[in-house]
Amino acid sequence: MTDQVERPKPPGFPAHGATALPAVSVDAVNAELRTPEGFLGDQASSGAFKQILEAWRKTLKRVDDEDPLGEAPTARISRRQLDRLLAEGDAEVAGLVHGVVEEFAQGLATVIRRLLKLKAWQDTQRIVVGGGMRGSRVGELAIGRAGMLLKGEDIALDLIPIRHDPDEAGMIGATQLAPPWIFLGHDALLAVDIGGSNIRAGLVRPHLKKAPDLSAACLWDSEIWQHREDKPGREAAIDRLCDMLRDLLRKAEKRGLAVAPFIGVGCPGQIEADGSIARGGQNLPGNWESSRFNLPGRLCEAIPTIGGHPTMVVMHNDAVVQGLSQVPWMGDVERWGVLTIGTGLGNARFTNRGK
């Protein structure tokens, strides 16, 4: 495979991984909090939640010789199942779920305390929480409880769930990577959200006539591929992604939607200005950190034009892009951040521009 070289961007397009975006400045991305035992962020991941649940189940089985959740492995118990048990289960089972939520919230609050001590995170007024945990009632309760714990320590911080469904926020946020003029004369844009388990591609409608601040932006159509189950190589994964994008373009053409010649991409890791991934891509299929691999260039190579115009690609860290979906509702604060609780804990801190 030869090197993929991305075409130069017209004026007004931010660089990949840029610190200055149209609406915000990116102050910090994926701050790493280390302890002697490892990364502190591991205490506030989906895996940590499962570990807490497993520990509780083992303890209860030793005491009562019975597991209130039955024989199902912890890995198979979804947060939505826990939501149902919380609402409909007997008092003991609901108490178990509340105990897990409380312990997880304690870990999340610990992580946030440490983040707020970092220079780039000082004076943060609000943190929005996305990722898979936000998409469940138990996740929302954990977020709310962590916020109360922090306020109980006189930490003046709003901790709230991200507004959009976390499966959609990582694509809707791509609208904030594009210069505003790109939407003129276009009905939609392509967005990609790459994760350690799934790759999502979608068509986002900005709906500027409804709301010039992009608060009405929504996902028109999307495709998801759970690549972790298939275990593809890197090139096979990119080929599949490009097929997903082409399929979405065909659907848009059938519906008469004018798609902007732009693809916004959220991807794990430290994104360099040339579109390479310096580090943090270890959970992706294959070696995405190779000096000979450039995802934006690969996308431009596969989809050279959209609507007769050269395709432009802007890529940023996935936590940043998910956080950007919240921009229209952050006008009442100046400094804010995002946490994405999934396979790992992503984070980013922003300052609104023009304040």
The pLDDT value recorded for residue 7 is 62
Measured distance CA(263)–CA(201) in Å, rounded: 10
349: left (phi over 0), alpha (psi -120 to 50) or beta: beta
Domains assigned to the chain: 34-161 (no CATH), 165-325 (3.30.420.40)
Digit-coded pLDDT (tens) for 213-238: 999 999 999 999 988 777 889 999 99
- Residues shown for the chain: 355
Q: Which two tokens stand for residue 125?
A: 């007024």
Confidence of residue 302 (pLDDT cuts 50, 70, 90): very high
Q: Which residue has the higher pLDDT, 121 or 282?
A: 121
* Segment 164-169 mean pLDDT: 92
Judge whether 112 and 127 are in contact, CB under 8 Å.
Answer: yes
Query: So what's the pLDDT on residue 309?
Result: 93
From CA 171, how far away is CA 174, in angstroms rounded?
5
Residue type, 151: K
Please give the structure tokens belonging to residue 249. 């373009």
Q: What is the pLDDT of residue 2?
A: 46
User: Among residues 318, 190, 326, which one has the least CA distance to residue 259?
Assistant: 190
Lowest mean pLDDT of 37-41, 94-98, 195-199, name the range. Answer: 37-41
- Higher-scoring residue by pLDDT: 18, 132: 18
Q: Which of 20, 38, 45, 30 is nearest to 120 (CA)?
A: 30
Q: pLDDT above 90 covers what percent of the chain?
A: 66
In whole angstroms, give the CA distance from residue 353 to residue 23. Answer: 6
**Separation CA 273–CA 255 (nearest Å):** 35
Name the residue among 138, 45, 149 with its Cα closest to residue 86: 138
- pLDDT-based confidence at 3, cuts 50/70/90? low
Question: What are the two backbone dihedrals, phi and then psi, of residue 34, each rounded to the nearest 5 degrees?
Answer: -100, 145
**Higher confidence at residue 107 or residue 36?**
107
Residue 153: the pLDDT is 96
In the predicted structure, residue 11 carries a pLDDT above the cut 70 = no
Between residues 30 and 26, which one has the greater pLDDT?
Answer: 26
Give residue 284's pLDDT. 85
Instruction: Supply the pLDDT for residue 1.
Output: 45
The DSSP 8-state label assigned to residue 176 in this structure reads: G
Q: C-alpha dihedral over 74, 77, 82, 83, to 10 degrees?
A: 150
Q: What mean pLDDT is predicted for residues 177-186?
A: 88
Residue 285 has pLDDT above 50, yes or no: yes
Helices 91-117/137-151 angle, 10° precision: 50
Q: Give the pLDDT mean for 190-211.
A: 93
